Structure 1
Amino acid sequence: MSVVAQVFVVVAGVFHIAVFALESLLFRKPSTYKRFLVKDDTEAAVAKPWAFNQGFYNLFLAAGALGGLIAGGDKGHAIALFSCACMAGAGIVLIASDRRMVQAAASQALPPILALVLAATL
């Protein structure tokens, strides 16, 4: 895998670690839950268990991407790229489910898509 593709794998992994922090650690803060279109404390209390679980999903995707790079070789790179494919797919589902989330979906999906394209072409 090219160095440029690896850079985008790292960007995608770091982004998903940040989202983990928002969803699993900081979700009850109004400035955080409003990013996810949650209106108030009542809605945040209902959504918190889902957000907590979703945060760990993002952490595990990041672990696959970054861990695959660290492991290296064909198998490690395959794990990293599979994680990127899952990240890209989740971003596509996000925009398909709610057009108001276009910026979040682009932030989530573009780095792993670039990693996949660059890994396939370079």
Structure 2
Amino acid sequence: MVVVGLVLAGLAALVHVYIFWLESVAWTTPRARRIFGMGPQEAEATRALAYNQGFYNLFLAVVVVVGIVLVAAGHLAVGSALVLAGAGSMVAAALVLLLSDRSKASAARSQGLLPLLGVVALVVGLVA
């Protein structure tokens, strides 16, 4: 189950790298505007905020990836702690998004389901 948790958390990290790209690199492009449901003026007005938020998503992904690498290198406790911290933060951010704006339920699900499943599988694998 540990491996399943790491794979799911790794996939969640990939999703968050994609979110980073959308928010920090492609924010004002037609694709990103369509995904986030905004026009050109709104995208330009929120560009700096999105840039910062994108890096937050990237840093969460990095924490998860470093944790996975450490587990693979035989450092189960430290690596698992990093994976749980990174993926757990992803889940918490998805919950904040959902609770702050119910219309963002689909986005919250997209960013929160994989890390949630990863956390559950990893914890089950660690306690079993």
The TM-score range, normalised by the shorter chain, is over 0.9
Gapped regions of structure 1 (runs ≥ 5): none
2:55 partner amino acid: F
C-alpha distance in 2 between matches for 1:18 and 1:96: 23
Percent identical pairs in the alignment equals 36
Cα offset, 1:77, TM superposition = 1.5
C-alpha distance in 2 between matches for 1:119 and 1:76: 11
Q: 1:30 maps to what in 2?
A: 30
Q: 1:114 maps to what in 2?
A: 117
C-alpha distance in 1 between matches for 2:10 and 2:83: 9
Cα offset, 1:37, TM superposition = 2.9
SS for the counterpart of 2:98 is helix
Deviates more, 1:26-35 or 1:89-98: 26-35
TM-score, with length taken from structure 1: 0.93
8 Å Cα contact 2:3/2:122 also seen in 1: no
Cα offset, 1:100, TM superposition = 1.7
C-alpha distance in 2 between matches for 1:30 and 1:99: 24
Q: Please tell me the root mean square deviation across aligned C-alpha atoms, in Å.
A: 1.2
Cα offset, 1:67, TM superposition = 1.0
Cα offset, 1:41, TM superposition = 1.3
Deviations 1:48-86 (A, max 9, x none): 000000000000000000111112221021011100110
2:69 partner amino acid: I
Aligned length: 121
After TM superposition, the runs of 4+ consecutive aligned structure 1 residues lying more than 3 A away are: none
